[in-house]
């Protein structure tokens, strides 16, 4: 049977079968390559998706993971307290700080810088002055009454010595205590600067016969301000017996920080007083004519600051600020009120008494020339002196406590000078104080 094309149908089937076989052989021959290519493509696609998921997961975790980067050493304190300052400075060599106002210390492997309130030029001037003073020992503290800054703190010993005498409460307060007695009398017993008072005998002695409440042919009359300026012991002795008594004197000694810790950047000795109840004991304490009432130069300058600063005692401080190696300030001083022992009015009356000490009293000779200087025309000067021997009469303790306030200016200073003399007197405390005040005001 033939088809319409004239070719037998079996032959066509045969040809189609040959072509089909040829295609199958061709596919089979290429199958390994197709499998390889497909496997490679699949592997590549798999790797792309796998690595992408790992990266995105890592990034996701990283966005929630705390940073391992440390900003600065971990042992550095963020701030120092007042108590920390005392610990840092307690065992330090104070010589660099005293001379330059700057000091370095190390903690936890880091270096810190201490900047003090001290005036290096004033420090050097005072130290050079004390070295020429011919005293056995001496101590000077200069303080700003407005904020409690210690401007100078110099301790001197003729044979050398590491003790800071400015902070030791081992020295008889002597007539410096008359400042406390006078303030108490004006606040509790109605005394005024111009009140008339009487005394018998010499000004600087204190005998029981001088303490009788009487007037007569040999009785001298003066004003309270002149009695203070001349430091008349019997006037203040009778004040303690008849006007103040043990209770009031104890109260005002406490107000003026006796028998109390004084907060400071360095340890300060506690000033001691024991007020008895017998008449002669009260007279001795009130006049300062005893060797048992002890005070430190730092404490003594705070007595003056109460008068100079309208009855307010600012807490004394030495360290202005502390910074770390990067310059970050980790401690800054903050002025604060320590005590308010007397009223503003009493402080004004006390300045009247202390001015008279400069003009007519125990400091007249020392300050006479400086008061005439043009630079001191607008400076309010006031002072109190005190002198007493030690228990064995080997040394003479010689005090000056003074203030210098420039009118209409923030420049103000309170100063205490303690001179300790041996067999021969060196330069007196009042003269040393005059030199220092003159330097401070005119420089």
Q: In angstroms, rounded to a whole number, what is the distance separating the alpha carbons of residues 351 and 353?
A: 5
Residue 49 lies in a domain: no
Question: Confidence band (pLDDT; 50, 70, 90) for 346?
Answer: very high
Per mean pLDDT, which of 89-93, 219-223, 408-412 is the most reliable? 219-223
In a domain, 38, yes or no: no
Q: How far is CA 252 from CA 37, 258, 317, in A?
A: 106, 9, 24
pLDDT exceeds cutoff 60 at 159: yes
For tokens 């497909």, the residue is 38
Half-sphere exposure of 285 (CA within 13 A, CB side): 25
Interval 287-321: pLDDT, tens:
999 999 999 999 999 999 999 999 999 999 999 99
Residue 37 lies in a domain: no
Residue 65 placed within a domain: no
The answer to pTM > 0.85 is no
Q: How far is it, in rounded angstroms, from Cα 123 to Cα 256?
A: 27
Give a yes or no: residue 310 inside a domain. Answer: yes
Contact 298, 141 (CB under 8 A): yes
Instruction: Please indicate, yes or no, if residue 23 is contained in any of the structural domains.
Output: no
pLDDT at residue 246 greater than cutoff 50: yes
Look up tokens 């205490």; give the residue.
Answer: 416
Burial class (CB in 10 A: 0-12, 13-18, 19+), 399: buried
CATH number assigned to the domain comprising residue 407: 3.40.710.10
Q: Say which range, 103-117, 139-153, 367-381, has the weakest mean pLDDT.
A: 103-117
Count the domains in the chain.
1
Q: Report the chain's mean pLDDT, rounded to a whole number.
A: 85
With respect to residue 12, please indicate whether it lies within any of the assigned structural domains.
no
Q: Considering only CA atoms, which of 336, 341, 267, 337 is closest in space to residue 298?
A: 267
- Model confidence at 75: pLDDT above 60: no
Whether residue 29 is contained in a domain is answered as no
Res 65: pLDDT:
39
For residue 127, what are the domain limits?
Answer: 115-442
- Is the pLDDT reported for residue 28 higher than 70? no
Q: Tell me the three-class secondary structure of the chain, residue by residue.
A: CECCCCCEHHHHHHHHHHHHHHHHHHHHHHHHHHHHHHHHHHHHHHHHHHHHHHHHHHHHHHHHCCCCCCCCCCCCCCCCCHHHHHHHHHCCCCHHHHHHCEEEEEECCEEEEEEECCCHHHHHHHHHHHHCCCCCEEEEEEECCCCCEEEEEEEEECCCCCCCHHHCCCEECHHHHHHHHHHHHHHHCCCCCCCEEEEECCCCCCCHHHHCCCCCCCEEEEEHHHHHHCCCHHHHHHHHHHHHHHHHHHHHHHHCCCCCCCCCCCCCCCCECCCCCCHHHHHHHHHCCCCCCEECHHHHHHHHHHHHCCCCEECCECEEEEECCCCCEEEECCCCEEECCCCHHHHHHHHHHHHHHHHCCCCHHHHHHHHCCHHHCCEEEEEEEEEEECCCCCCEEEEEEEEEEECCCCCEEEEEEEEEECCCCCCCHHHHHHHHHHHHHHC
Axis crossing angle, helix 279-287 with helix 178-188, rounded to the nearest 10: 110
- For residue 416, give every residue at least 6 positions away whose Cβ sits within 8 Å of its Cβ, in sequence order, or none: 139, 140, 141, 297, 298, 300, 301, 304, 399, 400, 401, 402
* Tally of CB atoms within 10 A around 99: 14
**376: number of Cβ within 10 Å:** 18
Percent of the chain exceeding pLDDT 90 equals: 67
The two three-digit tokens of residue 441, written as one number? 């005001």
**What are 170-211's pLDDT values in tens digits?**
999 999 999 999 999 999 999 999 999 999 999 999 999 999
Terminal-to-terminal C-alpha distance of the chain: 143
């Amino acid at each position: 049977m033939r088809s319409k094309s004239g070719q037998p149908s079996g032959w066509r089937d045969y040809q189609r079968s040959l072509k089909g076989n040829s295609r199958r052989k061709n596919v089979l021959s290429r199958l390994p390559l197709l499998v390889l290519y497909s496997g490679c493509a699949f592997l590549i696609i798999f790797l792309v998706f796998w690595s992408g998921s790992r990266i995105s997961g890592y990034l996701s975790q990283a966005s929630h993971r705390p940073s391992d980067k440390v900003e600065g050493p971990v042992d550095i304190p963020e701030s120092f307290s007042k108590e920390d300052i005392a610990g840092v400075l307690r065992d330090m060599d104070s010589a660099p700080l005293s001379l330059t106002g700057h000091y370095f210390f190390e903690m936890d492997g880091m270096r810190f810088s201490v900047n003090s309130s001290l005036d290096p030029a004033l420090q050097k001037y005072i130290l050079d002055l004390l070295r020429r003073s011919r005293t056995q020992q001496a101590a000077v503290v200069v303080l700003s009454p407005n904020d409690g800054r210690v401007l100078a703190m110099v301790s001197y010993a003729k044979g050398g010595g590491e003790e800071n005498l400015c902070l030791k409460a081992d020295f008889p307060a002597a007539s410096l205590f008359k400042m406390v007695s006078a303030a108490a009398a004006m606040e509790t017993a109605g005394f005024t600067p111009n009140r008339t008072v009487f005394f018998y005998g010499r000004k600087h002695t204190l005998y029981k016969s001088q303490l009788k409440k009487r007037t007569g042919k040999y009785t001298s009359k003066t004003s309270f301000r002149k009695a203070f300026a001349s430091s008349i012991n019997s006037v203040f002795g009778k004040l303690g017996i008849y006007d103040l008594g043990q209770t009031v004197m104890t109260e005002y000694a406490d107000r003026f920080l006796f028998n109390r810790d004084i907060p400071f950047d360095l340890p300060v000795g506690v000033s001691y007083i024991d007020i008895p109840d017998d008449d002669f004991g009260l007279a001795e304490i009130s006049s300062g004519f005893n060797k048992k009432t002890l005070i430190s130069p730092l404490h003594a300058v705070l007595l003056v600051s109460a008068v100079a600063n309208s009855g307010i005692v600012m807490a004394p401080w030495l360290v202005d600020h502390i910074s770390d190696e990067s310059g970050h300030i980790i401690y800054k001083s903050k002025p604060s009120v320590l005590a308010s022992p007397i009223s503003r009015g009493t402080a004004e009356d006390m300045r009247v008494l202390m001015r008279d000490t400069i003009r007519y009293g125990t400091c007249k000779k020392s300050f006479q020339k400086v008061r005439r200087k043009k630079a001191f025309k607008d400076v309010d000067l006031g002072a109190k002196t005190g002198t007493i021997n030690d228990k064995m009469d080997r040394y003479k303790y010689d005090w000056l406590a003074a203030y210098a306030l420039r009118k209409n200016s923030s420049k103000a200073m309170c100063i205490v000078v303690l001179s300790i003399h041996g067999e021969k007197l060196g330069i007196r405390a009042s003269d040393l104080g005059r030199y220092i005040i003159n330097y401070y005001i005119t420089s």
